[in-house]
């Protein structure tokens, strides 16, 4: 299947993408891909440096005749989100991504594709290896751990880069020129709870799956179902109406992905077994009606499972379900200044309740720091009522738009010249590393762009071949027109 990808154009870019996708590269476990990129730079004979965080910097001199141009930093992140369908037998630690070409799209076989941000990485590799592309002096910056905290960008020290312009290759719509982004903060509520024994012999597993999921920032406005919220809705209803007892809950996976699946184990008395099945069937119909547009494959099922000896203590179950119900999820506020832009949001990303311990993980985003703090306080208030310890985790700043920056004007005009229509110049409700990198490089002009990628952070991820070709052409023309040094 991967050989089909190697035959696509531009061939150098797609071949490097295929090579990259053979290397396991989950966030926080990027040792193999760091070594892969380091060897790549060294084999080209280019100055290559790996900093303490694992970020890789490769520098290439300007091509002939371009020595007087400003130095450009080309930036992408090495890690990728590892997600697979529950019925897919796949080991991300040992297997390369299995890709296939479907008409004008490249996708993976039941897993994330890694186009986010592997296409950007492969693009930079193709430029570094090229011998016939006109370009100014380039500094390739490959950061680590973008997807789970942006710790690579946060750890990058000032003074390592000399470039005056940064081209971030991590935008997912080819008509977008992104010049600003939201900041984010992880919030985790956790604690312990008392268990109680149960004499009920009827143990059931409730499963929600088939949701669309997606990126918890750029896709949050689409109103897609969150498996954790749906599961909590079911459990509260069953708890109120059938006195169901909960043994465990396991929902979601990654902080920056809208949860697609959730599982809960419950027990119910003999008298309520038939009512349980009817209630699940009814709730499944309700969910499918509510989400038939955004989540057409949504499925709720219930099946008998093995015997359960303990369940949540009654008072804790009461408080937990209501706290999750009260916790904000989805859009918190739209931008009053930019039409259609989400300003603040929260994703209840992970719920794990088992064996006397519980944890609820959220990722809150906002373009306004004070509003982000308000959102975090709302989440904190909901869970502190259960007695949880609520801890803000890693945070990263937003990126303030500078629409008058020369690189923005240059690329806006060039886009219209090449494609006969204006680009959408705007901000994005997602984390980009530009805001973080700008703290140590405040005078660097920055802009982000890329090809069409859909379904990022989910097994539905795919990248459009014709859009990659458009993006490649736009990038090469941009490099030719980089202004001269002052």
Q: Flag the least confident range among 63-77, 94-108, 393-407.
A: 393-407
Confidence of residue 400 (pLDDT cuts 50, 70, 90): confident
The residues assigned a catalytic role are 79, 146
Q: How far apart are CA 367 and CA 294, in angstroms?
A: 26
pLDDT at 393: 85
Q: How far apart are CA 54 and CA 317, in angstroms?
A: 43
Confidence of residue 337 (pLDDT cuts 50, 70, 90): confident
Give 422-455 pLDDT, tens digit per residue: 999 998 898 889 989 998 999 999 999 999 999 9
Q: What is the average per-residue pLDDT within 168-192?
A: 95
Which residue ranges make up each domain of the chain?
Answer: 2-182+399-480, 185-396
> Per-residue pLDDT for 190 more than 80?
yes
> Per-residue pLDDT for 135 more than 80?
yes
Q: Flag the least confident range among 95-99, 204-208, 333-337.
A: 333-337
Give 33-57 pLDDT, tens digit per residue: 999 999 999 999 999 999 999 999 9
Q: Over pLDDT 70: what percentage of the chain?
A: 100
Write out the CATH class of domain 185-396.
Answer: alpha beta
pLDDT at 457: 86
pLDDT at 396: 83
Give 351-394 pLDDT, tens digit per residue: 999 999 999 999 999 988 899 999 999 999 999 988 999 998 87
Q: Over pLDDT 90: what percentage of the chain?
A: 86
Q: How far apart are CA 53 and CA 205, in angstroms?
A: 42
Q: How far apart are CA 386 and CA 194, in angstroms?
A: 13
Give 252-263 pLDDT, tens digit per residue: 988 888 999 999
Give 214-243 pLDDT, tens digit per residue: 989 989 999 999 999 999 999 999 999 999
> Per-residue pLDDT for 1 more than 80?
no
Confidence of residue 191 (pLDDT cuts 50, 70, 90): very high
Preceding amide of 117 cis, omega within 30: yes
Q: Which residue has the higher pLDDT, 174 or 341?
A: 174
Q: What is the CA radius of gyration of the chain?
A: 24
Write out the CATH class of domain 2-182+399-480.
Answer: alpha beta
Q: Which residues contact 223 (CB under 8 A, 6 or more apart)?
A: 294, 330
pLDDT at 431: 81
Q: How far apart are CA 365 and CA 19, in angstroms?
A: 33
pLDDT at 295: 98
Q: How far apart are CA 485 and CA 374, in angstroms?
A: 44
> Per-residue pLDDT for 122 more than 90?
yes
> Per-residue pLDDT for 480 more than 90?
yes
Q: pTM of the prediction?
A: 0.76
Give one DSSP letter per residue of 279-298, joined into a string.
Answer: HHHHHHHHHHHHTTTT-TT-
Half-sphere exposure of 258 (CA within 13 A, CB side): 30
pLDDT at 51: 97
Strand arrangement of the beta sheet that strand 462-464 belongs to: 99-102, 105-108, 462-464, 453-454
């Amino acid at each position: 299947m991967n050989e089909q990808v190697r035959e696509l154009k531009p061939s150098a870019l797609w071949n490097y993408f295929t090579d990259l996708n053979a290397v396991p590269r989950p966030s926080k476990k990027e040792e193999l891909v760091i070594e892969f990129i380091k060897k790549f730079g060294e084999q080209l004979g280019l100055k290559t440096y790996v900093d303490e965080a694992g970020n890789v910097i490769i520098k290439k001199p300007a091509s002939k005749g371009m020595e007087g141009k400003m130095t450009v930093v080309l930036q992408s992140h090495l890690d990728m989100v590892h997600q697979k369908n529950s019925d897919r037998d796949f080991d991300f630690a040992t297997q390369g991504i299995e890709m296939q070409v479907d008409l004008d799209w490249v996708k993976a076989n039941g897993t994330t594709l890694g186009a986010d941000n592997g296409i950007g990485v492969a693009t930079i590799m193709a430029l570094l290896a090229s011998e016939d592309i006109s370009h100014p002096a380039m500094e390739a910056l490959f950061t680590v751990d973008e997807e789970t905290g942006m710790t690579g960008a946060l750890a990058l020290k000032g003074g390592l880069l000399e470039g005056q312009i940064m081209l971030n290759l991590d935008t997912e719509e080819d008509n977008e020129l992104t010049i600003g982004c939201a900041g984010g903060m992880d919030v985790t509520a956790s604690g312990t709870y008392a268990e109680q024994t149960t004499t009920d012999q009827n143990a059931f597993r409730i499963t929600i799956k088939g949701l669309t999921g997606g990126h918890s920032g750029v896709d949050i406005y689409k109103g897609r179902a969150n498996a954790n919220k749906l599961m909590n809705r079911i459990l509260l209803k069953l708890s109120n109406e059938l006195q169901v007892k909960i043994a465990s809950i396991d929902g979601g996976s990654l902080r920056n992905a809208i949860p697609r699946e959730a599982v809960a184990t419950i027990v119910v008395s003999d008298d309520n077994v038939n009512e349980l099945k009817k209630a699940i069937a009814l709730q499944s119909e309700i969910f499918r009606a509510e989400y038939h547009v955004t989540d057409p494959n949504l499925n709720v099922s219930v099946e008998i499972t093995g015997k359960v000896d303990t369940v949540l203590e009654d008072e804790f179950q009461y408080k937990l379900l209501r706290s999750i119900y009260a916790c904000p999820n989805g859009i918190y506020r739209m931008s009053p200044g930019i039409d259609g832009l989400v300003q603040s949001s929260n994703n209840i990303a992970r719920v794990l309740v088992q064996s006397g311990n519980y944890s609820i993980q959220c990722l809150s985003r906002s373009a306004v720091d004070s509003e982000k703090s308000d959102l975090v306080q709302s989440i904190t208030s909901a869970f502190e009522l259960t007695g949880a310890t609520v801890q803000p985790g890693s945070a990263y700043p937003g990126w303030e738009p500078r629409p008058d920056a020369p690189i923005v004007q240059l690329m806006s005009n060039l886009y219209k010249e090449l494609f006969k229509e204006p680009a959408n110049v705007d901000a994005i409700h997602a984390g980009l590393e530009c805001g973080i990198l700008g703290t140590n490089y405040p005078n660097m002009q920055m802009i982000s762009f890329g090809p069409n990628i859909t379904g990022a952070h989910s097994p539905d991820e795919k990248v459009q071949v014709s859009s990659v070709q458009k993006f490649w052409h736009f990038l090469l023309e941009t490099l030719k027109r980089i202004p001269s040094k002052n």
